[in-house]
Amino acid sequence: MFNQNIDSEPLRPTDRWLDIVGANIQFRRKIAGFTQEQLAEKADLAPRTIQKIEAGSITILITTLKRIVDALECSYDELMMNRLYLEEENKRKAGRETSGGVSARLEAEIKQAKEAKQKASKKNYPPK
């Protein structure tokens, strides 16, 4: 039946998964207020690596993902969730108009998250 050695080929993530993780890293980076260069420095990676990861054009090693998670102070789940992509894909399949694409949705969520972060920091200022 199935005699293939399971170690014969490495597991490869799908292009879609790379796009999702890349978009979520970009989203979290922008919420944190980092440029690609700043995130690269904080994660001890090359800026070009961050660019390629956000573009979904390279496979991400788990050690690289850990560095990014630590630098962005977020969870793995936050970088791997795909609700925005699924929402847009479902709308396309149903023939409904999308909301301007994933990029527009990410930008709107980034703006909301930054506003919420500013409100929270104003509530805690001045320190008591």
pTM, rounded to two decimals: 0.60
Q: Is residue 34 part of a domain?
A: yes
Tell me the residue range of the domain where 92 lies: 15-123
Q: Is residue 128 part of a domain?
A: no
Q: Is residue 115 part of a domain?
A: yes
**Long-range contacts: 119-126, Cβ < 8 Å, 24+?**
none
Residue 26: burial class (beta carbons within 10 Å; 0-12, 13-18, 19+): buried
Residue showing tokens 């008591």: 128
pLDDT digits (tens, 9 = 90+) for 60-103: 899 999 999 999 998 888 888 766 656 666 676 776 555 555 55
Q: What is the CATH number of the domain that holds 47?
A: 1.10.260.40
Q: Are 74 and 42 in contact (CB under 8 A)?
A: no
The amino acid sitting at 93 is K
Domain total of the chain: 1
Tokens read off for 82: 């795909």
Shortest CA distance to 117 belongs to which of 30, 23, 21, 26?
A: 30
